[in-house]
Amino acid sequence: MNRLFLYLRTIEFRKNFLLAILSVIILIVSVFFALRSYTRHGESLPVPDLKGLKIEEAVALLRDRGLRYSIDSLYIADLPGGTITEQDPAPNTTVKAKRTIYLTVVKKHPPDISFPDIENKPLEEAKAILLNAGIKIGNMTYRSHVSLNTVLGASLNGKFVHAGDVVPKGVSINLTLGDGKGDAEVDIPNLIGLTLNEARLAASGGSSSLSIGEVIYEGSIADTSKAVIIRQNPVASDTLVQIPIGSRINIVLSQ
């Protein structure tokens, strides 16, 4: 016991004791500053307002402020492509450096969609279907037909569009509607030798308001766009030369 007390009074013990206390202090201070650095205590900055900016401008601004970003995209017909439309966190929210800012960007090109079936549907129903599909209605023209405001056809850039055709979302489609005055008969057109698209134009042209019904391909067809009509029903004959407006003509094509 006496040796222990004698050792506690020695200079060597005092040096070791002070060294141990200093080591503990250095350890505590190091841990404190390490935690401050890790959590970036006191280092925060406001999120800039990025809405309406081009994606290139927004990314450059975030990088300058030491913020990260994640990009999602969607198509909005009335907004220019490449524009920021939403951000999270909101503008002026205070965040720490290297925080990820989530951006929603308007797609530059509209996605392709399948054109819905609106033929022979009332106009109001067709409008709802097109609106739900993200398709706009352009011009509306009328032709003779027994049903008023019934959709007789749709076209895009001068070409007929049918259910299942691929069109860009947000596109404007022109509609042909019945005028409700087509209680009459028209001459049967001769469609022999025409392609399917030519036959559709010939059948619907003028005031005839006819349409193509059943389409049958006969034989080996390498390219349906080049196949021509070899038979039609009804066909003009001595006993039948006219049919009611709005009737359908069934056709057989071959190549």
**Using a CB cutoff of 8 Å and minimum separation of 24, what contacts does 30-37 make?**
none
What integer pLDDT is reported at residue 97 of this predicted model?
A: 83
Domains of the chain: 44-106 (3.30.10.20), 111-183 (3.30.10.20), 184-255 (3.30.10.20)
- Pair of tokens at residue 2: 């006496």
Mean pLDDT per 10-residue interval, the chain, length 255 residues: 61 73 80 62 78 91 90 82 90 88 89 92 94 92 82 90 91 89 76 92 74 91 91 81 84 92
- 109 CB contacts (<8 Å, ≥6 apart)? 81, 168
Write the single-letter amino acid at 145.
Answer: H
What integer pLDDT is reported at residue 118 of this predicted model?
A: 94
CA 209 to chain centre: 34
- 73 CB contacts (<8 Å, ≥6 apart)? 104, 105, 106, 107
Pick from 43, 46, 106, 40: nearest CA to 71: 106
Buried b (16+ CB within 10 A) or exposed e, 17-41: eeeeeeeeeeeeeeeeeeeeeeeee
What integer pLDDT is reported at residue 110 of this predicted model?
A: 86
Give the residue carrying structure tokens 């050792």. 7
What integer pLDDT is reported at residue 5 of this predicted model?
A: 60
Whole-model pTM: value is: 0.47
